[in-house]
């Protein structure tokens, strides 16, 4: 158990819908990262937050947005869902934003878009 | 931009034997971190081993060790005395030292352990 929690574990929805994925980092960790793991694209970095502020953006679609709240939990919002958005979404956290900080991964949220 | 390549989609090894998983990467940076992550069927991403590029000594964690060749940009993972519980997808990942601390991932190698 990494100490990072993600809810829900599974999510099934229809095209065009909007969903919110939630992540609670390890106690004391200030950085949160979101990754997408899909069959055709592999693992891709989406976005990073540090202490409530966005720090880095990767291959995140405009239909996707995220935020980190004062209690440091983070939410990833996915809207106008398409079949291709079906994937495993991971959240990871680390103590700070230094490169040597290990990232601890949550169990992931499996999103299925029908 | 940095890239990570894992050229072996699948590897198999007999239980108790040794197996080496390959990883190469491309970067213009001199300092960075390299990682091997394991993803078992549970889908949990588990850190196996980490290597700092400025360290010449290869990292070792129990039965897991790496062969880090900085000039060749190669970072292979050796698993000794393979166990059934080692069966998983193994991902090589690169992390920059600049302000964007994202992990850049290889495509993964599926490791099968034969009893």
- For B27-86, the pLDDT digits (tens) are 998 888 999 999 999 889 999 999 999 888 999 999 999 999 999 999 999 999 999 999
The partner residues of B46 in beta bridges, in order of sequence, read: B38
Nearest-Cα distance to chain A for B38, in Å, is 11
CB–CB contact B100 A43 (8 Å): no
Residue A95 — pLDDT band, cuts 50, 70, 90? Answer: confident
What is the DSSP annotation of B27-83?
Answer: -S-SSEEEEEEEE-TT---EEEEEEETT--SPPEETTEEEEEETTTTEEEEEE-S--
CB–CB contact B44 A105 (8 Å): yes
CB A63 within 8 A of CB A55: no
CB B36 within 8 A of CB B90: yes
CB–CB contact B103 A45 (8 Å): yes
Spell out the long-range contacts of A51-59 with Cβ–Cβ below 8 A and sequence spacing 24 or more. Answer: A55/A31, A55/A97, A55/B99, A55/B100, A55/B101, A56/B99, A56/B100, A56/B101, A56/B102, A58/B102
Q: What confidence score (pLDDT) does residue A100 get?
A: 63
A90: chain B residues, CB-CB within 8 Å: 45
The partner residues of B105 in beta bridges, in order of sequence, read: B93
Residue of A42, A102, A107 lying closest to B107 (CB–CB): A42
Q: What confidence score (pLDDT) does residue A40 get?
A: 75
State yes or no: cis peptide before A8, omega within 30 of 0.
Answer: yes
Burial code (b: 16+ CB inside 10 Å, e: under 16) for B67-87 equals ebeeeebebbbbbeebeeebb
- Please tell me which residue of chain B has the smallest CA distance to A96: B101
Q: What confidence score (pLDDT) does residue A1 get?
A: 82
A35: chain B residues, CB-CB within 8 Å: 103
pLDDT in tens, A99-111: 567 889 999 999 9
Q: Averaged over B90-110, what is the pLDDT?
A: 86
Confidence check: pLDDT of B100 > 70: no
pLDDT in tens, A12-57: 999 999 999 999 999 999 999 999 999 877 889 999 999 999 988 8
A96: chain B residues, CB-CB within 8 Å: none
B104: chain A residues, CB-CB within 8 Å: 45
- Please tell me which residue of chain A has the smallest CA distance to B102: A45
Residue of B47, B106, B108 lying closest to A102 (CB–CB): B47
Residue A97 — pLDDT band, cuts 50, 70, 90? Answer: low
B29: chain A residues, CB-CB within 8 Å: none
Give, as one character, the DSSP assignment of residue B15: T
Q: How far, in Å, CA of B84 to CA of B86, rounded?
A: 5
Q: Token pair of A113, please?
A: 């878009």
């Amino acid at each position: 158990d990494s100490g990072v929690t993600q809810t829900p574990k599974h999510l099934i929805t229809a095209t065009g819908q909007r969903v919110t994925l939630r992540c609670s980092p390890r106690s004391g960790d200030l950085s949160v990262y979101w990754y997408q793991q899909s069959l055709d694209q592999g693992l891709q970095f989406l976005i990073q937050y540090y202490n409530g502020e966005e720090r880095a953006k990767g291959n995140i679609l405009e239909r996707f947005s995220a935020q980190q709240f004062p209690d440091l939990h983070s939410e990833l919002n996915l809207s106008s869902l398409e079949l291709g958005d079906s994937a495993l979404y991971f959240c990871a956290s680390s103590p700070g934003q230094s490169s040597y900080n290990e990232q601890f991964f949550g169990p992931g949220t499996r999103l299925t878009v029908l | 931009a940095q890239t990570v390549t894992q050229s072996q989609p699948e590897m198999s090894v007999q239980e108790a034997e040794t197996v080496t998983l390959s990883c190469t990467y491309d970067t213009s940076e001199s300092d960075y971190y390299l990682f091997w992550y394991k993803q078992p069927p549970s889908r949990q991403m588990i850190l196996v081993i980490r290597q700092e590029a400025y360290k010449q000594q290869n990292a070792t964690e129990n039965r897991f060790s790496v062969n880090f060749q900085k000039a060749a940009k190669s970072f292979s993972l050796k698993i000794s005395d393979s166990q059934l519980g080692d069966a998983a997808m193994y991902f090589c990942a690169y992390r920059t030292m600049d302000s964007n601390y994202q992990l850049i991932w290889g495509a993964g190698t599926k490791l099968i352990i034969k009893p």
